[in-house]
Copies of this chain bind each other. A is one copy, B any other.
Amino acid sequence: MPVGTNATVKAMSPDEMKDLGAEILLSNTYHLYLRPGHKIIGEVGGLHKFMKWEGPILTDSGGFQVFSLTNLRKIKDDGVEFRSHLDGSLHFLTPELVMEIQKALGSDIAMVFDECTPYPATKEYALNSLKLTTDWAKRCLDARNNPPLEKGAGGFYNEKQALFGIVQGGVYEDLRKQSAEEIIEIEFDGYAIGGLSVGEPKELMYEMINWTAPLLPNDKPRYLMGIGDLLDVLEAVSAGIDMFDCVMPTRNARNGTLFTSQGRISIKREEFKKDSGPLDPECGCYTCQNYSRSYLRHMFMSREILSMRLNTMHNIHFYLEFFRRMRESISKGEFKNFREELTPILQNNFHEM
């Protein structure tokens, strides 16, 4: 899922996302709650209409964003008190409010409010965090099953909105197992693994993915939250993960780092100054079909908006193409080959600064 934090995938229009073959976008509860406010979006008919995206949208619960405000938040049993990163105003996010927000947004997949366990965390901390997450998950489901908000009071309601549970447990195998069991017991439409890629070593992250993914039901989507490094994706898919989201393709694009069939390229390199060839000769995206490395470098060095557009378009194309090919390899029973073929390319940062 490409990430559209503020109700737009940065630098892209929804038409372009559709043309690129994006099937679902992620948007952020935390950000949209603070600005413009979920009630406003509800009043104008929900997030799809607001941002002009007809495909599915998954909204995260805001849990991760609030968790990231390390010094600005206080975790309580009831919810999380925090100060807005925009204006310092005080807010209190609860499972009920998070569900109200996601109802008003009308996303197709809502996420439960969880406490993202930090790394490192003691086992005691991780256990408490797990218990809180289970408690909040129940409250989220209850709130979801409550009647929809009154129309006219900022209410919009997507009747088919799915709700996904989130497994926490830090880097402790037994706690991951406990969390998975408790969350599965509640019964959700899909299950996510949260609290990874928060500072732990990669081996530990892989261990947790490989341990936790098989615990989740086979017949429901398994979603690994916030992971998008494609080497990690290959590992996670091996473990049975189905869904991902990450700002990697879009954020890297804006910083001039581009993913190609030969590896990772930094477009600002001096050697591209006079390079009239395409960014990636094997790529069929609009950027590669129309522009030279020389022009892309010039746009980037001049800080032109078109630089962000063209780079983002390319990186999203690369990612979506990667996932399309990966799915195809899975259907054909050739995922192992796919992984072996792609791994060295993904490891090649041949023009990294």
User: Shortest Cβ distance from A297 into chain B, in angstroms?
Assistant: 7
Q: Is the CB of B304 within 8 A of A10?
A: yes
- A6 with B305: CB separation less than 8 A: no
Whether the pair B292, A44 counts as a contact (CB closer than 8 A) is: yes
| Chain A residues bordering chain B, tally (CB within 8 A) | 34
**Which one of B7, B13, B273, B276 contacts A45 once the chains associate, using CB atoms below 8 Å?**
B276
Cβ-defined partner of A11 (8 Å) among B35, B291, B298, B306: B306
In the complex with contacts A36-B301, A305-B11, A305-B309, A52-B291 CB distance below 8 A? yes
Q: Are A290 and B52 in contact (CB under 8 A)?
A: yes
Cβ contacts A to B, 18 pairs, < 8 Å: A6-B298, A6-B302, A6-B304, A7-B295, A7-B298, A8-B304, A10-B305, A11-B305, A11-B306, A35-B302, A36-B294, A36-B297, A36-B301, A43-B274, A44-B274, A50-B292, A305-B308, A309-B309
- Give the shortest distance, in Å, between A249 (CB) and chain B (any CB): 15
Q: How far is the CB of A19 from chain B (nearest CB, A)?
A: 12
A162 contact set on B, CB distance < 8 A: none
Q: Does any Cβ of B come within 8 Å of A237's Cβ?
A: no
Which residue of B is nearest A10, CB measured?
Answer: B305
Per the 8 Å Cβ criterion, residues 89-139 of A in contact with B are: none
Each complex incorporates copies of this chain amounting to 2
Cβ–Cβ contact B40 & A273, under 8 A: yes
* Min CB–CB distance A206 → chain B (angstroms): 35
Q: Which residues of B contact A10 (CB under 8 A)?
A: 304-306
* CB <8 Å contact, A12 and B294: no
A198 within 8 A of B: no
Contact of A13 among B36, B44, B297, B309 (CB under 8 A): B309
User: Chain B's nearest CB lies how many Å from the CB of A321?
Assistant: 21
Is A51 positioned at the interface, with any CB of B under 8 Å from its CB? yes
Query: A342 contacts the other chain (Cβ, under 8 Å)?
Result: no
Whether the pair A12, B306 counts as a contact (CB closer than 8 A) is: yes
Alpha-carbon distance between A52 and B8 when the two chains are bound, in angstroms: 26
Restricting to A302-329, which residues have a CB under 8 Å from any CB of B?
302, 304-306, 308-309
- The answer to whether B44 touches A276 (Cβ under 8 A) is yes
5 additional A-B pairs beyond A6-B302, A6-B304, A36-B298, beta carbons within 8 Å, are: A13-B309, A44-B274, A50-B295, A52-B291, A305-B308
Any chain B CB within 8 A of the CB of A246? Answer: no
For the complex, give the distance between the alpha carbons of A7 and B308 in Å.
Answer: 15
Do A36 and B306 touch across chains, with their CB atoms under 8 A apart? Answer: no
Interface assignment of A225: CB less than 8 Å from any CB of chain B: no
User: Please, which residues of chain B bring their CB within 8 A of the CB of A309?
Assistant: 13, 305, 309
Residue numbers in B under 8 Å from A299 (CB-CB): 6, 8
Q: Which residues of chain B have C-beta atoms less than 8 A from A274's C-beta?
A: 40, 43-44
Chain B min CB distance to A302 (Å) = 4
Q: Within 8 Å CB of A50, what residues of B? A: 292, 294-295, 298
User: Taking the nearest CB of chain B, how far is it from the CB of A5, in angstroms?
Assistant: 9
